[in-house]
Amino acid sequence: MSDVIDFSKGDGLVPVVVQDDASGTILMLAYMNRAAFERTVASGYATYWSRSRRDFWVKGETSGNRQLVRAIHVDCDGDTLLLRVVQQGGAACHEGYESCFFRRLDSGTWRVVAERVVDPATLYPKKS
């Protein structure tokens, strides 16, 4: 199943575009290695590889905003994935927006073009 995906580029990682299955909204971009892909397929929930923490990251594990995978597509080169998901909890973005792409360049200035759907302070508990 993962033999079609080319994990040989980019430190064994492939970019993953994540799209809302119902609306078509692009929610975020993340990365998967082979093990994260296999965990995603086995569980039905999106699991990514965190490049900064160098560890697996189950989307929504802390915030509750999990991504139920409806479909997985691979591009023609086999080096990029598209996940169509049901975004649980309403916010894919850690800043509380539906999509991580909530800013748009407008006449040389970045402007917020979306409404925050969740207070980000409620998504992640404070670490002590």
The pLDDT assigned to 104 comes to 97
Rounded to 5 degrees, what are φ and ψ at 46?
A: -65, 125
Q: What CATH number is given to the structural domain containing 14?
A: 3.10.20.810
The pLDDT assigned to 100 comes to 96
Is 108 within a domain?
A: yes
The pLDDT assigned to 121 comes to 87
Tens digits of residue pLDDT in 37-56: 999 999 999 999 999 999 99
Is 127 within a domain?
A: no
Which residues of the chain, if any, have pLDDT below 50?
none
Is 51 within a domain?
A: yes
Is 128 within a domain?
A: no
Domain total of the chain: 1
Q: What is the 3-state secondary structure (H, E, C) of the chain?
A: CHHHCCCCCHHHCEEEEEEECCCCCEEEEEEECHHHHHHHHHHCECEEEECCCCEEEECCCCCCCCEEEEEEEECCCCCCEEEEEEECCCCCCCCCECCCCCEEEECCEEEECCCECCCHHHCCCCCC
| Domain region containing 74 | 2-122
The pLDDT assigned to 126 comes to 63
